[in-house]
C-alpha cells in the first residue's frame, strides 16, 4: 500500500478544500508513491515523535497539527521545525497533517469530543458559506441522460443536507442564433449542485460525458450555508446536570487535570457547544443557539468577560481538547484498511505543564 492510498482516503474524510486559509494540511514531507510500512498517529510532530516512529518501524507520521504553517526560506536546523523536517527526510519518514479540514467536517475533531461527552443530536455550530457550487450546462436532449448520470456518479446532485440526492433541475429550450430560424432538436439546460471539494471530479465527468467538444457551462458559488461543514458542534446531554456536576463530568471524561471557567450562571446544563482548540471566535454562535456551556481552549483573560452571564465558558486546554483526535485517526484507518497497521504515539507532546 502506498502512502498516497492512506492520505488520499483521509482527504476524502476531511477534504483539504475545507481547511482555513492560514492552514497547511496535506502531505508536508515525503514521497506519496512510497510504500507505507506502518503509520504513527500523533497530535504534534516533534523530534521525539519522529524517534518514536523510528522505534516502532513507521515511515509515515499522521498528525493533527502541521509541522509547517508558513513558508521556510532556509532549513538549517536552527528551529525545532527545521530539525524535524531534516530528521524526517534523513530517515525517509513522510509527514501528513489533517488540521482545520478535520476540525470543519461533521465526523471530525468536534464530533469526537461530543462522543466523549455523550452529547446527542449533534450539528455544526457555525456552518460555512460559499461551500456549495451550482453547475449549469446546455446539452442536446438525446445525450442529457448520460450527462446527468455521469454528474451524479461524480457526486453532484446533492445539497449535503439529506434533502435530496442525484437531483438536477432541467429546462427545455430550442437553439437559435441572431435572426436565423430556430434549429431543429431540443436543448436541455441541466442545473445541479455539489460541494466545492468535488469540483474537479464533477467537471471531469461533464467533459467526459458531454457529446460536444466545445460546449457552454457556468459555475456559480452559492452563499447558502452548508450544514455539513463548519466550525464547532452543538448538541444535548440526555440528562441535565448542575453546573458543578457537569464541570466535574467534563474533567473526568476529557481527562483534564484542571480547567478554567466563568461564573456558573446556569442552574442546569444540558445544551452543550464545543470547539477543539482555540474557539473563542464561536462564542456568539454558542450564545445565539442558546447553549448552556461552551467548551473550548486558549481563552484570554478579557475574553472571559464576553460570557456576560449568558453562558458558561469552560477552557480545558488546547492539547486536552484535541488529544482524542489520535483515536479518531486510528478508528478511521483501521475501519477502512484491514491490511494496514497504525499505532498511537507514546509521546505526550503537550508543551504546557501544570504545577
Mean pLDDT of 125-144: 93
- As a whole number of angstroms, the distance between CA 64 and CA 146 comes to 41
87 Cβ contact partners less than 8 Å away, ≥ 6 residues apart: 47, 50, 93
- As a whole number of angstroms, the distance between CA 139 and CA 149 comes to 13
C-beta separation of 96 from 60 below 8 A: yes
Mean pLDDT of 340-354: 95
Q: How confident is the model at residue 29 (pLDDT cuts 50, 70, 90)?
A: very high
pLDDT in tens, 236-248: 999 999 999 999 9
Between 163 and 313, the more confident residue is 313
pLDDT value, residue 175: 64
Cell readout for 255 is 481527562
Domains of the chain, each with CATH number or no CATH: 3-103+324-344 (3.40.1390.30), 109-126+230-316 (3.40.1390.30), 132-224 (3.30.70.120)
Question: Which range is least confidently modeled, 11-25, 99-113, 184-198?
Answer: 184-198
Mean pLDDT of 318-334: 97
Alpha helices for 27-180 (secondary structure H): 47-55, 80-90, 100-103, 109-116, 141-153
| Nearest one of 347, 296, 327 to 64, comparing CA atoms | 327
- As a whole number of angstroms, the distance between CA 245 and CA 237 comes to 13
- As a whole number of angstroms, the distance between CA 310 and CA 331 comes to 37
pLDDT value at 159 more than 70: no
pTM for the predicted model, two decimal places: 0.90
pLDDT value, residue 210: 96
Q: What is the per-residue DSSP string for 288-342? A: HTT-SEEEEE---GGGGGGGTTSSEEEE--HHHHHTTHHHHHHHHHHHH-TT--E
pLDDT value, residue 327: 97
Cell readout for 248 is 466535574
pLDDT value, residue 176: 61
pLDDT value at 162 more than 60: no
Phi then psi for residue 86, to 5 deg, are -60, -45
- As a whole number of angstroms, the distance between CA 251 and CA 187 comes to 63
Mean pLDDT of 75-92: 96
Number of neighbours of residue 17 by Cβ within 10 angstroms = 17
pLDDT value at 163 more than 80: no
Percentage of residues of the chain with pLDDT beyond 70 = 95
Q: Is 210 helix (H, G, I), strand (E, B) or coil?
A: coil
Mean pLDDT of 21-33: 96
Alpha helices for the chain (secondary structure H): 3-13, 47-55, 80-90, 100-103, 109-116, 141-153, 199-209, 243-253, 283-288, 318-322, 325-336
Q: How confident is the model at residue 355 (pLDDT cuts 50, 70, 90)?
A: confident
pLDDT value, residue 166: 82
pLDDT in tens, 49-73: 999 999 999 999 999 999 998 888 9
- As a whole number of angstroms, the distance between CA 272 and CA 283 comes to 12
pLDDT value at 326 more than 90: yes
Amino acid at each position: 500500500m502506498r502512502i498516497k492510498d492512506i492520505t488520499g482516503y483521509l482527504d476524502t474524510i476531511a477534504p483539504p478544500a475545507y481547511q482555513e486559509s492560514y492552514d497547511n494540511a496535506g502531505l508536508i514531507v515525503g514521497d506519496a508513491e512510497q510504500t507505507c510500512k506502518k503509520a504513527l498517529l500523533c497530535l504534534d510532530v516533534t523530534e521525539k515523535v519522529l524517534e518514536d516512529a523510528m522505534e516502532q518501524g513507521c515511515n509515515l507520521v499522521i498528525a493533527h497539527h502541521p509541522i509547517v504553517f508558513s513558508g521556510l526560506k532556509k532549513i538549517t536546523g536552527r528551529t525545532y521545525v527545521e530539525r524535524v523536517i531534516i530528521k524526517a527526510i534523513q530517515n525517509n519518514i513522510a509527514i501528513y497533517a489533517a488540521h482545520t479540514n478535520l476540525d470543519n467536517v461533521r465526523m471530525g475533531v468536534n464530533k469526537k469530543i461530543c462522543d466523549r461527552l455523550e452529547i446527542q443530536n449533534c450539528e455544526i455550530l457555525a456552518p460555512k458559506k460559499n461551500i456549495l457550487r451550482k453547475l449549469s450546462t446546455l446539452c442536446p436532449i438525446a445525450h442529457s441522460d448520460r450527462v446527468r448520470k455521469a454528474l451524479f456518479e461524480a457526486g453532484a446532485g446533492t445539497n449535503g443536507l439529506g434533502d435530496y440526492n442525484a437531483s438536477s433541475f432541467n429546462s427545455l429550450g430550442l437553439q437559435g442564433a441572431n435572426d436565423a430560424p430556430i434549429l431543429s432538436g431540443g436543448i436541455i439546460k441541466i442545473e445541479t449542485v455539489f460541494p466545492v471539494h468535488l469540483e474537479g471530479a464533477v467537471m471531469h465527468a461533464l467533459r467526459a460525458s458531454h457529446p460536444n467538444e466545445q460546449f457552454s457551462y457556468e459555475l456559480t458559488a452559492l452563499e447558502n450555508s452548508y450544514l455539513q461543514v463548519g466550525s464547532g458542534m452543538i448538541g444535548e446531554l440526555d440528562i441535565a446536570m448542575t453546573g458543578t456536576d457537569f464541570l466535574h463530568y467534563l474533567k473526568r471524561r476529557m481527562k483534564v487535570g484542571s480547567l478554567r471557567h466563568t461564573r456558573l450562571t446556569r442552574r442546569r446544563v444540558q445544551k452543550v457547544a464545543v470547539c477543539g482548540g482555540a474557539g473563542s471566535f464561536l462564542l456568539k454562535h454558542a450564545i445565539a443557539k442558546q447553549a448552556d456551556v461552551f467548551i473550548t481552549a486558549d481563552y484570554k483573560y478579557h475574553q472571559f468577560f464576553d460570557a456576560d452571564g449568558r453562558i458558561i465558558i469552560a477552557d480545558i486546554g488546547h492539547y486536552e481538547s484535541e488529544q482524542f483526535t489520535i483515536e479518531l485517526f486510528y478508528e478511521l484507518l483501521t475501519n477502512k484498511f484491514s491490511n494496514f497497521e497504525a499505532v498511537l504515539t507514546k509521546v505526550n507532546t503537550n508543551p504546557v505543564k501544570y504545577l
